[in-house]
């Protein structure tokens, strides 16, 4: 399966960077799922959780954000927030 290259940054610097199979973000118009090959998009983030599923059914990562924006272009996802607070995810 194709992968996304994801960067999550806040005012302190890089929060997380790496490959992902899927990203789910609280976009301004509702939750948006992003897979490889997604059309280019630029959107504001509303308060909620950003979730990242790493390749091969790996880790499910989650951060609570108060807002910000994200962009998707050529399988590159960039998420910019003021602050990203890690949220514990239960094991499957």
- Ranges of the chain with pLDDT below 50: 92
The residues spanned by each domain of the chain are 4-86
φ/ψ (deg, to 5) at 57:
70, 25
C-alpha span between 61 and 7 (Å, rounded): 13
Looking at residue 59, what is its pLDDT?
83
CATH architecture, range 4-86: Sandwich (2.60)
Looking at residue 90, what is its pLDDT?
59
Query: Taking the complete model, does pTM exceed 0.95, yes or no?
Result: no
Helix, strand, or coil (residue 61): strand
Nearest residue to 52 via CA among 75, 72, 77, 27: 77
Q: What is the CA radius of gyration of the chain?
A: 12
């Amino acid at each position: 399966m194709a992968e996304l290259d994801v960067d999550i940054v806040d005012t302190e610097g890089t929060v997380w960077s790496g490959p992902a199979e899927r990203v789910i973000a609280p976009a301004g118009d509702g939750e948006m799922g992003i897979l490889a090959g997604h059309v280019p998009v630029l959107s504001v983030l509303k308060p909620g959780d950003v979730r990242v599923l790493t390749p091969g059914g790996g880790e499910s990562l989650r951060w609570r954000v108060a807002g910000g924006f994200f962009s998707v272009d050529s399988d590159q996802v960039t998420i910019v927030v003021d602050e990203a607070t890690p949220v514990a995810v239960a094991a499957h």
